[in-house]
Amino acid sequence: VTSRTSLPAAERRLRSQLHQLLSQAEGFLHGSLIEMSRRCGNPRCRCAREDALKHRSLYLGQTRSGKSSMLYVPADLEATVRRWVEDYQRAAALLEELCAQGRERVGEAKTRERERKRSKRAKAAAAKGKSAGRSKGGGGKTTRNQAPKPS
Ligand SMILES: [Zn+2]
């Protein structure tokens, strides 16, 4: 029933931002970037002298179905991988905002349903009030106390 044009403006805007991101991003990566520094073991290497000179390398840490993994990021891909991780986070944030819009729409439907039920109950109560008045006047349903036994 819901056509795209009948969507709230906020949701349309979020969708078009997400759409744009999906079509323009080079890639997406989910995880956290972890920089590690280590000594290579060569006693003549600069890394052996000072902590600040240790070899650093980048990893993408991930936890999938309870298992954590570290994906080594080759040095020439570091900037790219950082962008992919950022673009995933932007996409996830947009999707989360879209979900908030969805929750809002469910909440509004719930309110409408409650109002419908309330007005239905009000109508029913009004109708009942009328019929109660009628039965008081005479021809109502009084089957239960019929035929009293003569004493
Ligand atoms: Zn070294």
pLDDT of residue 148: 61
Give the Å distance between the CA of 71 and the centre of ligand 1.
21
Least confident piece of the model among 5-14, 32-41, 106-115: 5-14
CA distance linking residue 119 with residue 128, whole number of Å:
14
Q: What is the pTM of this model?
A: 0.69
Around ion ligand 1, residues with a beta carbon closer than 5 Å are 40, 45, 47
CA distances, 8 to each of 13, 17, 23 (Å):
9, 14, 23
Q: For the chain, what percent of residues have pLDDT higher than 70?
A: 83
**Residue 89: predicted pLDDT:** 97
Q: What is the residue-wise DSSP string for 91-105?
A: HHHHHHHHHHHHHHH
29 alpha carbon, distance to own chain's centre = 19
Residue 71 has pLDDT above 90, yes or no: yes
Distance of CA 57 from the midpoint of ligand 1 (Å): 12
* Amino acid, res. 7: L
Distance 84 CA to ligand 1 centre (A): 29
73 alpha carbon – ligand 1 mean position (Å): 18
Which of 22-31, 59-68, 117-126 is modeled with the greatest confidence? 22-31
Instruction: Assign 102 a pLDDT band (cuts: 50, 70, 90).
Output: very high
